Amino acid sequence: MIMRVDKIEESINNNSKLAGRITNTGRKTNRCRLTGEAGDKRQNSQEKQEERIMKVAIVSTNGADVNEHFGKATRFLIYEIGAAGTKLLSERKTESLSVGDPDHPFDQDRLSGVIKTIEGCERVYCTKIGDRPAAELKKLGIEPVIYEGPIAEIKL
């Protein structure tokens, strides 16, 4: 957190939780950095966001792009995504939710099999997904993300 020196001194005097050390940043702008309880908490929070890693399932036919409908997926690529980029962890095969008939009835058993395949993932990236499968995934805490493009460009 960067604030003007006079504002920091005023904040410290008015709030004991901000008590810490004021360090001049060496800039001519008369700014300084606050460390101590409040400054450290903000910095730790920012570091945790930067370190966050998420496991995601990706529907891809070519291994390089998100390019398939969720219901047509016969495999999911499981990636770890973080500030450092993407890392392929595994490929998990499954029976597709779709049977090829656009008027097919919803099959809860088939969906259960697909969900078991992407277990442990926080998101699933696909080009399209039906309303019912999307709602079922959301109930389980898996966020469906509609995206079409290179896997390498996916960011948190």
Residue pointed to by tokens 């039906």: 130
In this prediction, residues 8-32 reach a mean pLDDT of 46
- Give the pLDDT confidence score for residue 40 in this predicted structure: 55
| Residues ≥6 apart with Cβ < 8 Å to 77 | 57, 58, 59, 60, 63, 88, 90, 91, 151
At 64, which CATH number? 3.30.420.130
Range of the domain at 23: 2-48
What count of Cα atoms within 13 Å lies in the side-chain half-sphere of residue 87? 8
Which DSSP helix (H) or strand (E) runs through 108? helix 108-117
User: Does 137 lie in the same domain as 91?
Assistant: yes
Q: pLDDT > 70: what percent of the chain? A: 68
Query: Contact 57/122 with Cβ under 8 angstroms?
Result: no
* Best CA proximity match to 86, nearest among 63, 69, 106: 63
- Give the pLDDT confidence score for residue 102 in this predicted structure: 77
User: Does 65 lie in the same domain as 130?
Assistant: yes
User: Does 30 lie in the same domain as 59?
Assistant: no
What is the tens place of the pLDDT at every residue in 134-150? 999 999 999 999 999 99
Q: Which residue has the higher pLDDT, 25 or 76?
A: 76
User: Does 127 lie in the same domain as 61?
Assistant: yes
- Give the pLDDT confidence score for residue 101 in this predicted structure: 82
In this prediction, residues 27-51 reach a mean pLDDT of 53
Into how many domains does the chain fold? 2
Q: How far apart are CA 104 and CA 107, in angstroms?
A: 8
Q: Is the pLDDT of residue 10 over 60?
A: no
- Phi, psi (rounded to 5 degrees) for 59: -95, 115
User: Does 73 lie in the same domain as 28?
Assistant: no
Please state whether 26 falls in left (phi above 0), alpha (psi between -120 and 50) or beta.
left
